[in-house]
Amino acid sequence: MPSLILATLFAGMFVMGSTELLVVGVLDLMAADLGVSVPAAGALVTAYALGLALGGPVLTALTIRLDRRTVLAGTLALFVVTIVVALVTTNFALMLVTRTLTGTLQGAFIAASFAAAAAAVPPSRAGRAMAVVISGTAVSGALGVPLGTLVGQLLGWRGTFVAAAVLGLLALVATLAVVPPVPATAGGTTAQLRHAFAPRVLAVLGLAVLTFTAIYAGLTYIVPFLQSVTGVTGGVVSVFLLAYGVATAIGSYGGGRFADSNASRAMVIGTAGLALSLLMLYLTGAVAVLVAVALLACGLFAMGMAPSMQYRVVSLAGPGGVLAQSLPASAANVGIALGALIGGVAVDAFNERAAVLAGVVVAAVAIPVAAITALFKPPTAGHATVAEQNDHPPVHQSVASEKCAMG
């Protein structure tokens, strides 16, 4: 049963992750159909990211006392509604609003998914459960987006939205059929806010921002990098991108074991590995084989520590773990936006290689930050000392207790 629950949560994350990114592959088609320029249509990507980063935690806080299964089903149902509205509208302003709302719903769905995943397994396997949920998004980037782009080219961008709505409905039916009730454990929104935004939690979230800034400073402009520096053009570029996507999927799934073993150490190793991988990409950019290796390493290290980041944030939040579930995704989106901005400045001022170098610098800064955050301990809770030393968050213990009480 736990495997089926996790598979259902994975599917929901895959559908929402694909919907977030599929606009990128059909942006020119949407711009032409909605009567705006391609740069203006790019605001659809920004609107979604802002909805997820800002609206997600707000919606999570507003639904803090609801059963997590109810939140999962509710966000999926409304997700389908927003997709249908986007599908039938020809108004760009309304499209922006629906994309923002869809991002907000995904943010709340992510938090509820982590809570449901943790409730489905013993505390010692919570990191691996989180990794399954995270890998849904990673796989959507590796497979969902290319497939969505292909559908868009064949059937138009509205065809991709039809597919997203259908898949959303299937995910909703599966959630109602498979995911059991997961009662809310929160004592109140105020208490959740106090613990979820404690300095120790904010420090790890800051590390997440740095990590994703480093990744996307270079990788946002990886296509022109491959074309101008590596000399790779045409369909071969897609092979490099697919390799990176597969590496992120493998890293996000496999990283769960490292989170369960020692999440703090995994983040230190992960940031160091990411810095070295980006440095390799910068230094060997003219050698296609080594560039491929560097991209694979970037994907493995970057997403390999994602489960550990999620695990540590919830652990350090203690009683605020329910609200804290939504914060790493917000931090990641802030990092993505900053990375794209920094990389763009570097490209404008110098060239594509400079964008990768900017990523190296940010990743190097992240290493000592990761080492500092490794010193933080979860809030003391009576006899939970041994669990804390093993990095098992109290929220997982309480969820596990509830699961036993439910039989």
Q: Which tens digit of pLDDT belongs to each residue from 272-319?
A: 999 999 999 999 999 999 999 999 999 999 989 999 999 999 999 988
C-alpha to C-alpha distance for 118 and 311, rounded to whole angstroms: 10
* pLDDT band per the 50, 70, 90 thresholds, residue 396: very low
Q: What pLDDT shows up at residue 188?
A: 66
Share of the chain above pLDDT 90, in %: 48
Look over the chain and give the mean of its residue pLDDT values, rounded to a whole number: 86
Q: What pLDDT shows up at residue 75?
A: 97
Torsion angle defined by CA atoms of residues 15, 19, 21 and 24, in that order, rounded to the nearest 10 degrees: 140
Per the CB < 8 A criterion, the answer to whether 75 and 104 are in contact is no
Averaged pLDDT for residues 47-55: 88
Q: What pLDDT shows up at residue 185?
A: 64
Predicted confidence (pLDDT) at residue 135 exceeds the cutoff of 90: no
Q: Which tens digit of pLDDT belongs to each residue from 235-247?
A: 788 788 888 888 9
CA 199 to chain centre: 22
Lowest mean pLDDT among 86-95, 254-263, 307-316, 381-390: 381-390
Highest-confidence range of 19-33, 170-184, 213-227, 381-395, by mean pLDDT?
170-184
C-alpha to C-alpha distance for 207 and 30, rounded to whole angstroms: 35
Lowest mean pLDDT among 169-178, 199-208, 331-340: 331-340
Sequence-ordered strand ranges (E) for 256-358: none
Predicted confidence (pLDDT) at residue 72 exceeds the cutoff of 50: yes
Task: Measure the CA angle with vertex 43, ends 41 and 49; round to 5°.
Answer: 135
Q: Which tens digit of pLDDT belongs to each residue from 77-114?
A: 999 999 999 999 999 999 999 999 999 999 999 989 98
The domains of the chain, with CATH numbers, are: 1-184 (1.20.1250.20), 188-407 (1.20.1250.20)
Question: pTM, whole model, 2 decimals?
Answer: 0.79
Between helix 126-139 and helix 306-317 the angle, nearest 10°, is 130
Q: What pLDDT shows up at residue 186?
A: 52
